[in-house]
């Protein structure tokens, strides 16, 4: 309504459609995708809804927060914990947003010119995808190519389930989620082995929907045999394994220099 760019946390990734021209991507700190970093640069007022400003979303608390921070959350314990809010509103997100929209309409507020921001977001998103796809690897599938092709083959209401690992962040950055609650991830407790049984559960409860599981080789070793259950029941869920022969998230955390080596490989 305001014509402002929107970015989300990992947990909230699906609440705003990735194909909306004002969707900047995941994150809003130093580790965020370029579209999110650049479109929010110079922000003079930030409306934060249902977020805790935790380590992951803020890039290890490296995010610069404007003085005018409006923080809305149902849990008042999160207010001023990591960043001081100018205005803190304890409320269910849906109630607060509806009241905010009603107030803006009553005051006669209109959408500001956002064509430049939309163009910036599109340019940065296109460039980011190109950086993952323009140099195909003859030996390994680039995550950029994989996620681009996967998106083409799935319906908007397909469910994608991930595990905990490097592939989680690759999915978050490279796979556009179009429907709310259609990306399922064990983000809070980071439990490896979650993906395969969770995907089976999603398919059991949504038999008419496409369900794709994306899991690393480490997580797959923990619960991969659950696929026997899916096979016996004839569920038709799809399981994609990112097999790099290591626990990549731990490996990358231990050696940041490996980030460059991972870029563009699977």
Could you read off the pLDDT of 35-62 as tens digits, one per residue? 999 998 888 999 999 999 988 788 788 8
Domains and their CATH numbers in the chain: 6-116 (3.40.50.1220), 135-262 (3.40.50.970)
What is the C-alpha separation between 101 and 31, in angstroms, rounded? 31
Residues 6+ apart with CB under 8 A from 173: 25, 26, 33, 128
196 SS3 class? helix
Q: What is the pLDDT of residue 255?
A: 55
Range of weakest confidence among 2-11, 94-103, 231-240, 248-257: 248-257
For residue 167, how many C-alpha atoms fall within 13 Å in the half-sphere facing its CB? 30
The neighbour count for residue 17, using CB atoms within 10 Å, is 15
Q: Is the pLDDT of residue 175 over 80?
A: yes
> Which run of H or of E encompasses 88?
strand 87-90
Using DSSP's 3-state secondary structure scheme, residue 191 falls into coil
Provide the pairing of β-strand 159-162 with 183-184: parallel
Instruction: Read off the pTM.
Output: 0.86
């Amino acid at each position: 309504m305001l014509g402002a760019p929107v970015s989300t946390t990992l947990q909230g990734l699906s609440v705003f459609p990735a194909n909306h021209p004002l969707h900047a991507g995941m994150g809003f700190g130093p580790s965020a995708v370029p579209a999110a970093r650049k479109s929010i640069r110079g922000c003079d007022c930030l409306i934060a809804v249902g977020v805790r400003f935790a380590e992951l979303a803020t890039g290890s608390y490296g995010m610069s927060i404007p003085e005018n921070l409006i923080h809305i959350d149902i849990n008042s314990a999160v207010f001023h914990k990591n960043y001081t809010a100018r205005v803190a509103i304890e409320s269910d997100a849906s109630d607060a947003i509806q009241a905010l929209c009603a107030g803006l309409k009553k005051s006669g507020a209109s959408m500001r010119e956002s064509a430049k921001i939309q163009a910036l977001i599109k340019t940065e998103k296109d460039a980011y995808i190109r950086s993952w796809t323009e140099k195909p690897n003859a030996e390994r599938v680039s995550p950029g190519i994989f996620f681009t092709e996967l998106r083409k083959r799935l319906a908007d209401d397909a469910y994608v389930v991930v595990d905990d690992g490097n592939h989680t962040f690759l999915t978050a950055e490279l796979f556009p989620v179009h429907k709310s609650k259609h990306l399922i991830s064990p983000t809070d407790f980071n439990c490896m082995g979650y993906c395969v049984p969770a995907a089976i559960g999603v398919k059991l409860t949504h038999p008419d929907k496409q369900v794709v599981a994306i899991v690393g080789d480490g997580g797959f070793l923990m619960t991969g045999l659950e696929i026997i259950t899916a096979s016996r029941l004839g569920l038709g869920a799809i399981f994609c394994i990112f097999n790099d022969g290591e626990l990549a998230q731990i490996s990358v955390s231990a050696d940041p220099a490996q980030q460059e080596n991972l870029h563009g490989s699977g």
